[in-house]
Chain A
Amino acid sequence: MLTYIARRILQGAVVIVLISVGTFFVIRLMPGDPTYLLLGEGEIRISQEQMEAIRARWGLDRPHHEQFFIWAWNLLRGDFGDSLIRKGIPVRQMIFEAIPVTAILNVTSLALALLVAIPAGIIAGVRRNSSFDYSTAVGSTLGVALPNFWLALMLIVLFALYVPRWFGDLPLIGRIPPFGLKSWQGYILPVLVLTTEQMAVLTRVMRASTLEVLTQDYVRTAYAKGLPNTIVLVRHAVRNALLPVVTVIGFRVAFILSGTIVVETVFAIPGIGRLFTDSIFRLDYQVVQSLVVVLAVLVVVVNLLTDLTYAIIDPRIRIN
């Protein structure tokens, strides 16, 4: 077990190093000189010396590999540098302000998705070919095919345009704002969008694994012992059927983060995803490269944790 964990951590570290080297050099191929962006729009007369001074201040005059090692060493010490564009603001602060927003969004939607997907998948699997099975199949097929940015826009049209027009303010919720996070209602639409896709995928997984488990010998044995249906389902079938869901969640962290990037941009939510696209367009090297590494670390850690959880809760897994 310990060697397995050690090996996985080492593999994860390799992945993170590969990603940071890759991003650092790819970003430096980007067209456009951030020095000009620093100066702002318009015709600003600037001497060659001033230009050099700015480049020296940001270390842009050094060779690329030197810039990389300086950056990597600072990262290891927890210093993410300052934003090139938003002057003087540490990148660390920007990222740490954005993380809770993204975390709330995604944890809430994942929890909601599981809350629906697990029972729906079980029922669909147990009552195979029933009308419930067919309707969840239709629902999850649609959920996978809907681009999240389109779903987001259509929900904005529905809840910010038509619902107020037809029904006025909703009870308890009031008016749902189309963009931003000024009040808690701002979370409703993005959470709904992010939940839809996860729900669709997880329902499928849960249904498939329920079907799989129901054919196993131990389920037949449990029935043969004369156990009532609910006990067999809850104690023997569902417990085992949940295992693949754990793996899929770990496997989907990358997809979830992809979804956040698009959805946060649509809803103008100040999370990791929005910070990422904004920084790309502003050529803010410091922010982009640090964010990429943060995302990579996040994915690697979550993957490791799910694999370990899996190994711990399922004694059948033999780690070699």
Chain B
Amino acid sequence: MTTSNSANLNQQISATADSRSEWSQAWRRFRANRIAVGGLVVIVLLVLMAIFAPLLSPYDPIDEIFRGMRGGSPTLAHPFGYDHLGRDLLSRVIFGTRVALIVGLLATGIAVTLGVVIGAVAGYLGSWEDTLISRVIDTLMAFPIIALLVVLAAVLGPSLVTTVVVIGVTGWARFARVVRADIMSLKATDFVTAARAVGVRDWRIIWRHLLPNVMGPIIVLATLGIGGIIILESALSFLGLGIRPPNPSWGGTLADGRAFILRFPHIAFFPGLMIVITVLAFNFLGDGLRDALDPRERD
């Protein structure tokens, strides 16, 4: 009992020491990557913009309608111009950051959680559970995701909650696939056999010994996925199945702009630009994290 306890302690101590140096090494590699740090800075700014949207936006995004200014072009007081109803476009775009980030982060959170749990179960248990889960993963990966989102959003009724849940619940497959494959190969390693020989229970092996080893790739995949999810959200809002008007979202404003694209092209221009900037920032961050966390994959 004492020996196993001290062995356990030793193992824990060396594990913390190792992981600390590994993470700090990764952080050093990440800091050296200027593009990735730039992406991180932009994301921090976007988060601040979302939090302080009421303070930053010069006008009310919904209620303040300027008469006679429908589709008005940008001016000094309204740098992004007016939308199709005469509301200040800059304020609507600033508030739209909230929707983009909430959906991007929450939906990714749901997808990662589901993916890790389902993938770990499939990879660890093997047998018929694995076969069943693998078929479901294949199905989700094979299907044009936007078609699924459109159907589900139409069924549940479009709203912010629907958008988050629907994107999260349909997006776990790629995480599950990576976790499953990694867990399957890790399961055969000596430290898992050792843990099992000592009598460690299955869920503890998964939680303490396997998942920490899979976290690197998952963090990278999640970060790279956020951009895609923000595009999905705006596509859904663009098709009229995401965030409901009058609430400001980038995709929704783009859809407003679409109807007047040849008369007031600026309405569609600015929200799209914000989407591009945000997606680029998350992609740069993700690329940087990949290089930092897994130097072997560097090209």
Does chain A bind chain B?
yes
Chain A residues in contact with chain B, CB under 8 A?
11, 14-15, 18-19, 23, 26-27, 29-31, 141-142, 144-147, 149-150, 153-154, 156-157, 160-161, 178, 208, 211, 254-255, 257-258, 261-262, 265-266, 276-277, 280-281, 288, 292, 295-296, 299-300, 303
- When C-beta atoms are compared, the residue in chain B nearest to A208 turns out to be B299
Asked whether A254 and B141 contact (CB < 8 A) given A153-B261, A160-B262, A288-B151, the answer is yes
Name B residues whose Cβ lies closer than 8 Å to a Cβ of A. Answer: 135-136, 138-139, 141-147, 150-152, 154-155, 157, 227, 231, 234-235, 238-240, 254, 257-258, 261-262, 265, 268-269, 272, 275-276, 279-280, 283, 299
Which residues from A are CB-within-8-Å of B147?
A: 257-258, 261, 276, 292, 295
Contact, CB under 8 Å: A144 / B155: no
Are B143 and A265 in contact, CB atoms less than 8 angstroms apart? Answer: no
Cβ B152 vs Cβ A15 within 8 A: no
Chain B's closest residue to A161 (CB) is B262
Least distance between B142 CB and chain A CB atoms (Å): 5
Task: Tell me if A276 and B150 are in contact (CB < 8 A).
Answer: yes
Q: Are A150 and B144 in contact (CB under 8 A)?
A: no
Residues in A whose Cβ lies below 8 Å from that of B151: 23, 26-27, 280, 288, 292
What's the minimum C-beta distance from B157 to chain A, rounded to whole angstroms? Answer: 6
In order of increasing CB-CB distance, the 9 nearest A-B pairs are A150-B272, A257-B144, A258-B146, A145-B279, A258-B144, A157-B265, A145-B280, A153-B268, A147-B231
CB-contact partner of A157 in B139, B262, B283, under 8 A: B262
A26, A147, A276: the one contacting B155 at CB < 8 Å is: A26
Inter-chain contact B234/A296, CB cutoff 8 Å: no
What A residues does B142 contact at CB under 8 A?
15, 254, 296, 299-300, 303
Asked, given contacts A161-B262, A254-B143, whether A150 binds B150 with beta carbons under 8 Å apart, the answer is: no
> Could you say which residues of chain A place their CB within 8 Å of the CB of B143?
19, 254, 295-296, 299
- Chain A contacts for B135, CB-based, 8 A: 11, 14-15, 18
Distance in angstroms from A247 CB to nearest chain B CB is 13
Closest Cβ–Cβ distance, residue A170 to chain B (whole Å): 18
B86 smallest CB distance to A (angstroms): 21
Contact flag A145-B283 (CB < 8 Å), given A150-B272, A153-B257, A288-B151: yes
Q: A18-B135, A141-B280, A295-B144 are in contact. Are A149 and B265 (CB under 8 A)?
A: no
Q: Is the CB of B272 within 8 A of A153?
A: yes
Rounded to whole angstroms, the CA-CA distance of A296 and B140 in the bound complex is: 10
Task: Evaluate whether A178 and B262 lie within 8 angstroms (CB atoms) in the complex, with A31-B157, A145-B283 already known.
Answer: yes
Given contacts A27-B155, A153-B257, 15 further A-B contacts (CB under 8 A): A15-B142, A19-B139, A31-B155, A147-B234, A147-B275, A149-B234, A156-B262, A161-B265, A254-B141, A254-B145, A261-B150, A262-B238, A266-B258, A295-B144, A300-B142
- Residues of A contacting B155 in the complex (Cβ-Cβ under 8 angstroms): 26-27, 29-31
Kindly state the separation between the CA atoms of A142 and B139 in the bound complex, as whole angstroms: 29
Given contacts A27-B155, A295-B144, whether A150 and B268 have CB atoms under 8 Å apart is yes
A213 CA to B262 CA, complexed, in Å: 48
Judge whether A18 and B258 touch: CB under 8 Å.
no
**How far in angstroms is the closest Cβ of chain A from B145?**
6
Contact B283 A26 (CB under 8 A): no
Q: B239 contacts A262, CB within 8 Å? A: yes
Q: Which residues on A sit within 8 Å (CB–CB) of B231?
A: 147
